[in-house]
Structure 1
Amino acid sequence: MKPLVLTHFTATSCIGRGLDATLEALRAQRSGLAPCGFERATLDTWIGEVDGVDAEPVRADLHDFDCRNNRLAQLGLAQDGFAEAVAAAARRHGAQRVGVFIGTSTAGILETENAYRRRDPQSGALPAGFHYAGTHNPYSSAAFVRAFFGLQGPAFVISSACSSGAKVFASARRMLAAGLIDAAVVGGVDSLCLTTLYGFNSLELLSPAPCKPFDTHRSGISIGEAAAFALLERAPEANEAPSPDGAILLVGIGESSDAYHMSSPHPEGLGARLAMEQALASSGIGADGIDYINLHGTATPSNDAAESCAVQALFDATPCSSTKGATGHTLGAAGALEAVIAALSLREQWLPAGINTTEADPALGLNYQLTGGPARLRTVLSNSFGFGGTNCSLLFARADRALHGGASL
């Protein structure tokens, strides 16, 4: 595939607002997880809650979109000069030539939970001020971002469980390759809600302690929330000025659907392996050319074991870790958040540790990083796998590696 440039990116999660705070937490190996104190959730678990999400409503002209999920999106869009970068892209290409592709799992379902608690006791009618289309409807996430920037290009949401925020990169790439757009705002946003917390609790997947991906004593997930975004544009052609050497490129994408089970992965990681193989093949980079893998790494026994099988089938001692010990599992936003972490790692030449993990499970056979540090990173693979066997792997590279490193892109 022809590479795409991440001309701008940003992330907001429980470890901080924006790239500087995110990088600082990763370098300090500091987790943002805390005992669950989410309103009405009486659960013995830890969560990754973003401070101050409800402190500011969405912009006044977007009132019908007001909900926790879109407030979190707005908070994320305000970081790192991202809004200004999108505005500049709209001026360069025209508002109708910038697409919006957002991943989410539950969108603003919390707004519906609250609305049902305020139903009319006689008629059962929902409150008059409840706007399903702008809040709970999954498309509301993309509609909000599109309206926030005044964009007029194609927009849609992917809701494929925990691969949602990664698969938007693939959708945007297809639109760019088809010539339908010239730039794309891609990302993921998912916020805490009772449906998610109690749903995963009913599946007995919540850990009573901060999650420990790939640890011998891992016991389940810690749910988090996040908003992460990137601006994608085409890489320069050979006869144009090249991207700066430090620029981050999306050079490979792999998608698969093994449909093994509604909530359990294929035990040998079949779909995960297929997604990683496709990402490698589409980039022209061999498995031995990958410097770091950001694992999906949910910290459940079966998910980590299956992903380990897939990684071992393709790679030989490639350094890897899961950053969910820092951020929690941000569900529909996880793919976008971890894509941004991958890009940040490449930009800063920093290999993230698997925070909270203290005893990497030797049975999994991975070169799992318990300590982070400076590293020569030219390429990073980021994995995102969701319920139902929907899988996506994204391969990022520094421009100097991608354009001069011998890969056939």
Structure 2
Amino acid sequence: MACEVNVFIKKYAYLCNIDDKTVLPEICSVGIEPEYDLRCNKILLHCLNAIEQDVADIIEKYGKNRIGIVIATTNAGIEEFGCVGNKLSTQMGNPALFLQRYLGLTGFAAGVSTACTSGIKAFSLARNLIKSNICDAVIAGGVDSLAKLTLFGFSALEVLSDKKSNPFSKNRDGINISEGGALFILENAEKESSGIKILGIGETSDAYHAATPDPCGLETIRAIREALCEAKIEPQDVDYINLHGTGTNTNDLMEATAVYSVFQDKVYCSSTKPLTGHCLGASASIEAAICCDVLLNPQKALPLHVYDGEYDESLPRLKLIEEDVTLEDLKIVMSNAFGFGGTNAVMILGVI
């Protein structure tokens, strides 16, 4: 009988809250074509440099043809395309191919672009590559840089806020678009005795509306239950939920309804988007990294839910973290991601 394949997060790095003081590395490697000289790839390279030795170790361990690359994005180099007109910069696979070329790898490489669920979808694909023995390890993650086209699109939908996002408040009025990236080394670790394990992933689709989630959250609930089922745990076993929490009327209604349906008000939760902004295709990857921080530092307080404190009482009441909370026996966290087209993705991580 085949052994169970357990996929662990071995190392990770992330970058958000980028400002004028953030120094991004230049892309000057020999043999890297001009279409890869993009801001999003500089963000990726910043993350890669933080785990450079760990990446070198897995390449030496497995070989260049057994390491996969899976990168989530929604913008790629669409901003640069407006300046230089190179259509290759707009391809959703551009960041993944950049990393592959930069590292000299020869295995699987692909981009994932499913709106705001892209980051968790990248984990799902990466895990399947390892389980299918296509790869021994995968460098997975997500990245997005700011682009005027995207900003104009969200503005046309009237969901941008000129104030800090205010999820689950009665005064919420939209999202803040941001940029950032995260990278993870995923590996088959069936003999590992400790580490962060991907316990379960749930993926569904509303088939409801192109830009609005189903307010009843039926498929969101199913995605949560799929993740719980695969993880072989009950709702009460989850210690913390990182909410998608965009601060739009439609997301917060749907998410509060779905989360309350499964967990009631029994599990601590928060949205970290008021702290990081909404990084689009990178958001779920960055929030997965925040969840890893939570698991590896149980002595620290859980991420606060930063908002004006005026909960929208028309929503089911969630157990938002409004003051410092520390859990001594924290072992399992869940991260939510939902996006345009009715795409839903939920990932459960656990420290083993």
Report the TM-score, using the length of structure 1 for normalisation.
Answer: 0.80
Q: Summarize deviations over 1:305-333 as a string: whole Å, max 9, x none.
A: 10011101111321111000100110000
Letter in 2 for 1:94: G
Distance 1:259 1:357, change over 3 A: farther
Match of 2:343 among 390, 399, 402: 390
Q: Give the corresponding residue for 1:58.
A: 27
- Retained in 2: the 8 A contact 1:293–1:319? yes
Letter in 2 for 1:192: L
Q: Give the corresponding residue for 2:263.
A: 315
Separation in structure 2 between the aligned mates of residue 183 and residue 283 of structure 1, nearest angstrom: 21
- Retained in 2: the 8 A contact 1:3–1:252? no
- Retained in 2: the 8 A contact 1:207–1:220? yes
Q: Give the corresponding residue for 1:347.
A: 296
Deviation, 1:149, is 1.7
Separation in structure 1 between the aligned mates of residue 107 and residue 20 of structure 2, nearest angstrom: 32
Match of 1:142 among 85, 96, 119: 96
- Retained in 1: the 8 A contact 2:25–2:45? no
SS of 2:107 mapped into structure 1: coil
User: What is the percentage of aligned positions where both structures have the same residue?
Assistant: 36
Aligned length: 342
Match of 2:326 among 350, 374, 385: 374
- Retained in 1: the 8 A contact 2:92–2:113? yes
2:104 is the alignment partner of 1:153: no
Separation in structure 2 between the aligned mates of residue 58 and residue 373 of structure 1, nearest angstrom: 42
- Retained in 1: the 8 A contact 2:337–2:346? yes
Separation in structure 2 between the aligned mates of residue 221 and residue 69 of structure 1, nearest angstrom: 21
Q: Give the corresponding residue for 1:22.
A: none
Q: Give the corresponding residue for 2:176.
A: 222
Separation in structure 2 between the aligned mates of residue 136 and residue 382 of structure 1, nearest angstrom: 28
- Retained in 1: the 8 A contact 2:24–2:46? no
Q: Give the corresponding residue for 1:296.
A: 244
- Retained in 2: the 8 A contact 1:254–1:277? yes
Separation in structure 2 between the aligned mates of residue 147 and residue 384 of structure 1, nearest angstrom: 29
Distance 1:361 1:372, change over 3 A: farther
- Retained in 1: the 8 A contact 2:245–2:273? yes
Distance 1:175 1:226, change over 3 A: same
Q: Summarize deviations over 1:237-279 as a string: whole Å, max 9, x none.
A: xxx4x323xx211111111111211000001112211111111
Separation in structure 1 between the aligned mates of residue 307 and residue 33 of structure 2, nearest angstrom: 40
- Retained in 2: the 8 A contact 1:325–1:357? no
Q: Give the corresponding residue for 2:314.
A: 363
Distance 1:105 1:357, change over 3 A: farther
Note the 1:64-213 alignment, pairs <5 A. Answer: 64=34, 65-79=36-50, 82-115=51-84, 126=85, 131-133=86-88, 135-213=89-167
- Retained in 2: the 8 A contact 1:360–1:368? no
Match of 1:276 among 224, 231, 237: 224
Separation in structure 2 between the aligned mates of residue 396 and residue 97 of structure 1, nearest angstrom: 24
Deviation, 1:154, is 0.4
Separation in structure 1 between the aligned mates of residue 92 and residue 343 of structure 2, nearest angstrom: 18
Separation in structure 1 between the aligned mates of residue 183 and residue 110 of structure 2, nearest angstrom: 15
Q: Give the corresponding residue for 2:280.
A: 331
Separation in structure 1 between the aligned mates of residue 21 and residue 120 of structure 2, nearest angstrom: 26
Q: Give the corresponding residue for 2:193.
A: 243
Separation in structure 2 between the aligned mates of residue 252 and residue 101 of structure 1, nearest angstrom: 18
Letter in 2 for 1:339: A
Deviation, 1:87, is 1.3
Deviation, 1:56, is 4.0
Report the TM-score, using the length of structure 2 for normalisation.
Answer: 0.93
Separation in structure 2 between the aligned mates of residue 56 and residue 319 of structure 1, nearest angstrom: 38
- Retained in 2: the 8 A contact 1:280–1:286? yes
Letter in 2 for 1:370: E
Separation in structure 2 between the aligned mates of residue 228 and residue 385 of structure 1, nearest angstrom: 18
Separation in structure 2 between the aligned mates of residue 3 and residue 58 of structure 1, nearest angstrom: 35
Which sections of structure 2, spanning at least 5 residues, go unmatched? none
Separation in structure 2 between the aligned mates of residue 231 and residue 352 of structure 1, nearest angstrom: 24
Deviation, 1:187, is 0.2
- Give me the CA root mean square deviation: 1.6
Letter in 1 for 2:58: A
Distance 1:107 1:167, change over 3 A: same
2:27 is the alignment partner of 1:10: no
- Retained in 2: the 8 A contact 1:53–1:72? no
Separation in structure 2 between the aligned mates of residue 285 and residue 357 of structure 1, nearest angstrom: 34
Q: Give the corresponding residue for 1:123.
A: none
